[in-house]
A and B are shown apart, each in its own frame.
Chain A
Amino acid sequence: MPEHISLLRIPMGQTVRLQSLASLHPSLRRRLTDMGIDEGSIIRLKKISLLGGPIVIECNGQLIGLRQNQVKQLEVVPTWT
């Protein structure tokens, strides 16, 4: 079983599998699941803005912007291990 790491710790452009969304704010979690992003989804970190601004992730060909402080506890598992 590979270790979970925070989404913000993975290298840009790498794909990872979402392990748990439990730590997210409930509204945010619902919006993500509405967009088809849930535990087990494969996502890719596309962009990190300056000064702790939003990040952009890609999932199933859609691009989604989220705040860093909202997703820092998001646990992911690298797909390359």
Chain B
Amino acid sequence: MPRRSRTGASAGGPQGLPGISTTGRRAGIFCVLLIVALAAQATRVQVFQAKRLNHNPANQRLTVERYSQPRGNILVGHDTVTGSVPTGGRYDYRRTYTDGPLYAAVTGYSSQTYGNTQLEGTEDDVLSGTDPRLAGWALWDAIARKQSPGGDVYTTIDRAAQQAATKGLGSQKGAVAAIEPATGRILALASTPSYDPGSFAGTSAADQQAWDKLQADTNQPMLNRALRQIYPPGSTFKVVTAAAALAAGTVTDINAPTGAPYPYVLPGTTTPLVNDTAACNRPNLSLDTAMIYSCNSVLGYLGVRTGLDTMLSTARDFGFNDAKLDIPFRAARSNFDTEMNESQLALSSIGQFDTAATPLVMAMVAAGVANNGTVMYPQLVDRLTRSDGTAVQVMEPRTYKQALTPAVAAQVQQLMTDVVEKGTGTNAKIRGATVGGKTGTAQQGVDNSGTPYAWFISWAKPAGSDQVPPVAVAVVIADSDATDVTGGGLAAPIARSVMQAVLGG
């Protein structure tokens, strides 16, 4: 039977076919289903594909939103070293930097075209206001899409130390890393030549030109040499070797004869390990004397005697071979080979062969010794705050490794003090302070033809103090116009001025 409309026969279909009441209802359901399909598709796009679409690189919304309000600031002490200015363009605000080149190794850059790096990168969520911890009522703000004002990042940088480091490096190619040994706070992080991150913060043609120029510069001004570049540490590594020898019991008394032969022929070869100073060319020197004159033959011999395992574990405890050292942005991996024959180990023990370190890790070496053997995790952020100044996160000192026993650390401290008092590091002496240090002059290039790397690592404390020294520092000069390139000559004075800045402050 055909369905009949309740309104009567006139509505019935032709000869037993369904009437308009039935076909109309079906067509109506079809039309409504079309609209239901639209709702389903809208749900698919707006809920399930939303995240992927929002993050599509061709979608400018995230960037527009990001620059729609002033970015939070990065501070050194109580002073902001960054700012934001209205642009009147599609992106409302652009980043500015006060003393850009001075702090570039710390701040990195925040560019509307080229992204964010270093603190601007790792703390971007806080600075841009997207970190959920900034919101007063996180869930409600998320629903209401309320954008939190950008938070602030307080660094651990000491303005005076940073300025001393940058001034000391001057026009030379090099880097400085300074650490507070007891806490791991990074007091200075400088890399020269530097750059102004504000010069390409926007989207204009001038910004693009500035960027292209920096990219093409063979001096690599945008390379952060303090923690993104590794250099052979040369003789500064002897601090690690001496510590390992003392820790392993290879040497028990720093003033007793070590039994080191002269000349010391690299095991398995006929090549003797040569020294730079005639004072080293005697057998059976004490460890203290060997450090004062930076004797390759003695420390090479002691490294081999101590053995690869202890050398490796001591180096690791100071930060070597750590591929995930974040301060919070990542430092390059400093290297001490894990598999070597004895002659390679001897060379590595004096900071040559494949041994290579960032200034940051060499500063950790000095700081670990100064902090009685405890290496603290290096950290650059003191605290994160909301725009109203309330804290979101406060830095807590973290132990990286217990590298040495306090007794061994005290012996190494004595060795380093003697280097500054009587040895190659006299340029680091500070009146009224106890300074420990170690020089390094690392040969490089084909047949050592390149300008050597001049190193100095040190720590200092007020004379007579039995506290942990407030500052440890590592300096490397990678390329200098000076004729006499040595760690003691070039790098030690810079380390001294950085330490003075901290002690005096």
Real binding pair = no
Interface residues of B (CB under 8 A from A): none
Interface residues of A (CB under 8 A from B): none
